[in-house]
Amino acid sequence: MDVELDKVHPVKKFRPIASGKISSRNALIMAFVLILILGAALTCFRSGFAVAVLSYFVLNIFYSFSFKHIVLLDIFSIAAGFMLRVVAGGLIIDVAISSWLLLTTMFISLFLAVIKRQSELKLNNEDTNPVTRKVLSLYSMDFTNQIATVTASGVIICYAIYTVSARTVSIFGTENLIYTTPFVVFGIFRYMYLVYISNKGENTTEIMLTDLPMILNILLYILIVTLIIYKII
């Protein structure tokens, strides 16, 4: 759907279809094959999980053809996709999902999505770079800054409440998970620093895997969570 725009993007032009490594025809054939495999595989799972997966598929179809061109609806569609992943994960292992966890997922997804829009907006503000996403014309730096601030606050608040909610405490038998909140706050602030100061943000995965402070923060977070859950501390 985006191959022509990807071809003029400084990073996305290296994607397989945009670079010509894979033809659009072969990509469509493979997509059709994968859809058939998915349809067959879903019959082996419970109906709730199948509904979540199909909802995710339909959401992405609407996003690709329409939603990504509508201001705000584009980033909310991305957030909805991540929330559906969490729901599907809970259904497949038969674990109830906390409402606070879903809200945390929504806010962090919105945060990452709007930060990506902001990075693209910065890129397209340079005269040498053409617009590679139509909806960017409906955003501004000030607007995305405001959304980033609100969503970052939402992530921190919802996560903190999640750690001390009655259901979380009853499952893990401790309120000490609240002490993992500083790692979440640092992660959010570090990410914002990398975007605002270091002009990164186009590729979330790249930031997570290449920034040493971010890597150390994630590892420490996992370690502390594990120690708390298993009552080691």
Residue 123 forms part of a structural domain: no
Q: How confident is the model at residue 109 (pLDDT cuts 50, 70, 90)?
A: very high
- The tens digit of pLDDT for each residue in 126-154 reads 655 555 678 888 999 999 999 999 999 99
Residue 39 forms part of a structural domain: no
**Enclosing domain of residue 62:** 46-97
Residue 62 forms part of a structural domain: yes
What's the predicted TM-score (pTM) here? 0.88
Rounded to the nearest 10°, the torsion over CA 81, 87, 92, 93 is 130
Q: How confident is the model at residue 65 (pLDDT cuts 50, 70, 90)?
A: very high
Q: How confident is the model at residue 119 (pLDDT cuts 50, 70, 90)?
A: confident
Residue 54 forms part of a structural domain: yes
% of the chain exceeding 90 in pLDDT: 72
In whole angstroms, what is the distance from residue 79 CA to residue 116 CA? 13
Residue 146 forms part of a structural domain: no
Residue 151 forms part of a structural domain: no
Give the count of domains, the chain: 1
Of 160, 139, 70, residue with least CA distance to 152: 160
